[in-house]
Amino acid sequence: MQIVKKPSRQEWPELLKRPEIDTTSLFGTVGEVLENIRQNGDKAVFEYELKFDKVQLSALQVSAEEIAEAETLVPHLLKEAISQAKRNIEKFHDAQNDELPYMNVIPEVRCWQKRVAIQKVGLYIPGGTAPLFSTVLMLAIPAQLAGCEEIVLCSPPNAEGKIHPAVLYAANLCGVTKIFKIGGAQAIAAMAYGTESVPKVYKIFGPGNQYVTAAKQLVSLKNTAIDMPAGPSEVAIIADHTAKPRYIAADLLSQAEHGVDSQSILITTDEALIVGVQDEVKSQLELLPRKDLAEKALQHSKIIYIPDIEEAIEFTNEYAPEHLIIMTHNYTVVAERIVNAGSVFLGEYSPESAGDYASGTNHTLPTNGYAKAYSGVHLDSFTKKITYQELSREGLSMLSNAIEIMAENEGLIAHKNAVEVRLERVYREDDDYSDSWRR
């Protein structure tokens, strides 16, 4: 890990950089995949599964028999762990289900808002180096709670044409309606455009590699909404003299083992902490099965010594981390000053892995600095909100001057007339001005 001590503000922009991944360079390649699937449907998907996932499939959709088989292959203890996580995630997300009540903005002008589920959503679950069944929970549970009618899931199959049993078990447990053995950009295209087998969805969720990210960006331009811009996963830790190097090292490594492009940042106000953290990282790293991945991620990770806590907070807000762990003696005070972060973990007993799996919050979060403008996935991500208004004749009359003056000054005279005809300021013999106000 790179060690930086007391950086000047002129050095901040360089320190804030993430591992560089330019998905726009992939738009040509990915665009060809998208267009081929848009034109040729299942036929093109089968071809790309053979080309990219190295498997000859006879069917794209996972069968009921395969789901039943997967349930028998998932160990009992893992089922219990998934169930506990599911309960916590459901409880936290269900509490987000509120609506704006009816309100009289002024007398006789009533407005309200209604939450409506997005009817068809698509979930992408990477296969890659780890079976992310936890991401199934994070995406399928709020989709089900929101009331989405169709929840489609795509995940790349292995060489035998199978999806990991835990992924299938979690998907079935959480109400996914259709599961498909499709990976990469071809999965995004199939869900965005629809094929003979795969339904077209209205919004696509889930992480993925740079090809998946590029595909999501392209389809979002005119076809399908996406959850958020995505990049490599990351964690930042703010720590002072009270923090334990062993805990810090474990959190840095838990992020680093995600992949070679992950990034772990420690921002500390205590210079003496640095050596202890370095020693712990070195010793704990040797015990990790994914040591090689973590080592590569640590090459672009940093320990930054900033003596002043206010400056450390400011630096963190500029970085806008996906995950932020605060291990200071006054962590609640520090947390109040955080304005840019995907999810915040407070105190020494709140590791990032709690949020990744079972605390109840969602682990699908904005990366690459997008936490400055984006939220993580939550219940509202799977809904849209429709506003309503109902005016009586009296209510319209009270607003008429404002409406007419504004419309006239924008040059939209038909807008003005829509008010005037109702208030009999423009009169025709066949007009019916009966009051239709319904209470």
Residue numbers of the domain that contains 399? 392-439
In a domain, 374, yes or no: no
> What is the per-residue pLDDT for 393?
94
| Residue 415 annotated as lining a ligand binding site | yes
Query: What is the radius of gyration, based on Cα positions, of the chain?
Result: 26
> What is the per-residue pLDDT for 430?
52
Identify whether residues 209 and 73 lie together within a single domain. Answer: yes
Task: Give the model confidence (pLDDT) of 170-208 as tens digits.
Answer: 999 999 999 999 999 999 999 999 999 999 999 999 998
Instruction: Provide the greatest CA pair distance for the chain.
Output: 90
Identify whether residues 282 and 161 lie together within a single domain. Answer: no
Query: How far apart, in whole angstroms, are the C-alpha atoms of residue 131 and residue 125?
Result: 8
On whether the CB atoms of residues 323 and 236 are closer than 8 A, the answer is yes
| Residue 323 annotated as lining a ligand binding site | yes
Identify whether residues 141 and 65 lie together within a single domain. Answer: yes
| Residue 254 annotated as lining a ligand binding site | no
> What is the per-residue pLDDT for 259?
87
CATH code, domain with 289: 3.40.50.1980
| Residue 209 annotated as lining a ligand binding site | yes
Query: How far apart, in whole angstroms, are the C-alpha atoms of residue 5 and residue 304?
Result: 6
| Residue 56 annotated as lining a ligand binding site | no
Identify whether residues 272 and 163 lie together within a single domain. Answer: no
In a domain, 382, yes or no: no
Domain boundary among 213, 230, 247: 230
Identify whether residues 12 and 62 lie together within a single domain. Answer: no
Q: What are residue 362's phi and psi, to 5 degrees?
A: -95, 140
Task: Please tell me which residue in 234, 322, 348, 352 is annotated as part of the active site.
Answer: 322
Identify whether residues 79 and 209 lie together within a single domain. Answer: yes
Q: Considering Cα of 426, then 427, then 431, then 434, what sign does the dihedral take?
A: positive
Identify whether residues 49 and 176 lie together within a single domain. Answer: yes
Identify whether residues 64 and 187 lie together within a single domain. Answer: yes
| Residue 258 annotated as lining a ligand binding site | yes
| Residue 410 annotated as lining a ligand binding site | yes
Q: How many CB atoms lie within 10 A of CB 435?
A: 8
Q: Is 404 a catalytic residue?
A: no
| Residue 186 annotated as lining a ligand binding site | yes
Query: How far apart, in whole angstroms, are the C-alpha atoms of residue 185 and residue 190?
Result: 9
CATH code, domain with 410: 1.20.5
Domain boundary among 230, 249, 282: 230
For tokens 């291990």, what's the residue? 327
> What is the per-residue pLDDT for 192?
97
Identify whether residues 262 and 352 lie together within a single domain. Answer: yes
Query: How far apart, in whole angstroms, are the C-alpha atoms of residue 435 and residue 439?
Result: 12
Q: Is 76 a catalytic residue?
A: no
Identify whether residues 241 and 163 lie together within a single domain. Answer: no
In a domain, 126, yes or no: yes
- Say how many domains are in the chain: 3
Identify whether residues 238 and 226 lie together within a single domain. Answer: no
| Residue 76 annotated as lining a ligand binding site | no
> What is the per-residue pLDDT for 439?
35
| Residue 329 annotated as lining a ligand binding site | no
Q: What's the whole-model pTM score?
A: 0.90
In a domain, 418, yes or no: yes
On whether the CB atoms of residues 182 and 154 are closer than 8 A, the answer is yes
On whether the CB atoms of residues 325 and 352 are closer than 8 A, the answer is yes
Task: Please tell me which residue in 323, 352, 363, 404 is annotated as part of the active site.
Answer: 323
> What is the per-residue pLDDT for 438?
41
> What is the per-residue pLDDT for 8?
95
Which residue ranges in the chain fall short of pLDDT 70? 21, 128-129, 426-439
Q: What totals of helices (H) and strands (E) does the chain contain, helices first?
A: 17, 14
On whether the CB atoms of residues 371 and 340 are closer than 8 A, the answer is yes
> What is the per-residue pLDDT for 436?
42
In a domain, 372, yes or no: no
In a domain, 365, yes or no: no
Identify whether residues 400 and 302 lie together within a single domain. Answer: no
In a domain, 100, yes or no: yes
Q: Considering Cα of 322, then 12, then 22, then 297, what sign does the dihedral take?
A: negative
Task: Give the model confidence (pLDDT) of 132-165 as tens digits.
Answer: 999 999 999 999 999 999 999 999 999 999 999 9
Closest CA to 319 of 306, 333, 332: 306
Domain boundary among 182, 211, 230: 230
In a domain, 373, yes or no: no
